[in-house]
Structure 1
Amino acid sequence: MPLFREWAPDEHSLAAVWHITEEEHFFADQVPVRADTIRHGKRRIEFLAGRFLLQYLKNDFPLHAIAKNPNDKPVLPEGPYHFSISHSYPYVACIIDELGDTGIDIECERASILSVKHKFLTPEESELFPDTLPDILLAWTAKEAAYKYQGLRGVDFRQHLRIVGWKNITEAEKIISIKLPLIDDSAKKTFKSLIDKDFCLSYAIRYKHYKI
């Protein structure tokens, strides 16, 4: 069972990363959802693996109740959980929060992101990060996690998801603070990021002592 990592960001949330090595039927046989309308095989496996991982973390997770809100954000309209899923084959990640909105993003290393960093980082933000693939990918995943946490349309990653600071916890773990002016001019959210040898991962946290 290739569970890459499982952890509790705090007492109200759970998260996990799964390394997909199984065939599609492994996930399809264990989740009560259909993926017939997804034609691309890899996308179908990612979809099923994400649902499988939600159910792995919370065996009472009502997969059948997942719907999209008016902003196309996957939600449980009647609760009891808030959640976020991300996949970058062959990895899938998810987070479940009992108290409020959350967001997670995982991205495998891809050098092409260096050529488009100007599309999601302002010059001021670029000065905050070393111009290396892991660090730029880290900034991207933090903004993607913030986008999912916010759950709104019409988002400009440079204007509406502004990185205002970050700090190291360890060499591989960072804390990033992002302003969310579409919610409120003073709104900020903290994200924890992990740099692995194969991917970068960021997710929403609420720890007060991580504030920047």
Structure 2
Amino acid sequence: MALAYHKEIDPYTSFAIWKIEESADELLAQLQLKEHERTYLDSLVNGKRNMHWLSTRVLLRRMMDTDEYIDCRVDSSGKPYLSNFPHYISLSHSYEYAAVMVSKNKAVGIDIELIKDKIERIASKFMSAEELEFIEEKQRIEHLYVCWCAKEAVYKLHGKKNVSFVENIELKPFHYEGKGSFPAKLDVGSTHKEFTVHYEKFDEYMIGFVSDDTNEE
């Protein structure tokens, strides 16, 4: 597993991208798994799902820099959390890359996606009509992927299933520049929060990441 990219957001928050190059057995050898984790792993079909699960856990162990067992679980909404460490985490993967974001003091969200033309076909399913108006034709596909990654990152930070990308997550207009940030708003139920979402193009992938700065401890 080769570290492809590491970014420190602040003294307490960072994310890393890894290129998945090992076999499943090589990844498994780097983990300390309990019976419930092995049972879940055995339930996955060998292939991408298996490799992505293993690679995000290996990367998480590297980022935590500990020899202790890391109890990474998911809650009833599917959000990953650590039961024996106070850190906030977010996991993502796409094809040959795994991404992990970790913070000691605030909720985080990250998403990585391989850029493909197919996003054009589903744009209206995650973008409002007003948001579609600011998409630039010259780099339309990349611009749409930033929006998808941004909304996915906010969704992961929130960690609840009752969120519509179209109705509950609003992106403010921004120009696509390959790397940058812009405001976003989450409005669902009793939650009304504003965020600054960051994005970067990495190789042929797009990365979107966000942290809840109002939640700093």
Q: Does 1:137 align with 2:145?
A: yes
Unaligned runs of 5+ in 1: none
Alignment: residue pair count: 206
Distance 1:193 1:42, change over 3 A: same
Q: CA RMSD in A?
A: 2.1
Distance 1:109 1:63, change over 3 A: farther
1:36 corresponding residue in structure 2: 42
Structure 1 range deviating more: 125-134 or 47-56: 125-134
Kindly provide the CA deviation profile for residues 123-159 of structure 1, in whole angstroms up to 9, marking residues without a partner as x. 1111222141111111100100010011111211000
Judge conservation of contact 1:51–1:63 (CA < 8 Å) in 2. Answer: no
**Which aligned pairs between 1:31-180 and structure 2 lie closer than 5 A?**
31-33=31-33, 34=38, 35-60=41-66, 64-131=70-137, 132-166=140-174, 171-180=177-186
Once residues 6 and 188 of structure 2 are traced to their aligned partners in structure 1, the CA distance between those partners, rounded to angstroms, is 32
1:8 corresponding residue in structure 2: 8
Judge conservation of contact 2:107–2:212 (CA < 8 Å) in 1. Answer: no
Identity of aligned residues (%): 26
Once residues 183 and 72 of structure 1 are traced to their aligned partners in structure 2, the CA distance between those partners, rounded to angstroms, is 19
TM-score (norm 1): 0.89
Once residues 195 and 10 of structure 2 are traced to their aligned partners in structure 1, the CA distance between those partners, rounded to angstroms, is 15
Alignment partner of 1:54: what SS? helix
Once residues 78 and 212 of structure 2 are traced to their aligned partners in structure 1, the CA distance between those partners, rounded to angstroms, is 24
Unaligned runs of 5+ in 2: none
Identify the match of residue 195 of structure 1 among 196, 201, 210: 201
Judge conservation of contact 1:9–1:205 (CA < 8 Å) in 2. Answer: no
Judge conservation of contact 1:114–1:133 (CA < 8 Å) in 2. Answer: yes
Structure 1 range deviating more: 141-150 or 36-45: 36-45
TM-score (norm 2): 0.87
Judge conservation of contact 2:149–2:207 (CA < 8 Å) in 1. Answer: yes
Shift of 1:46: 0.8
Distance 1:185 1:86, change over 3 A: closer
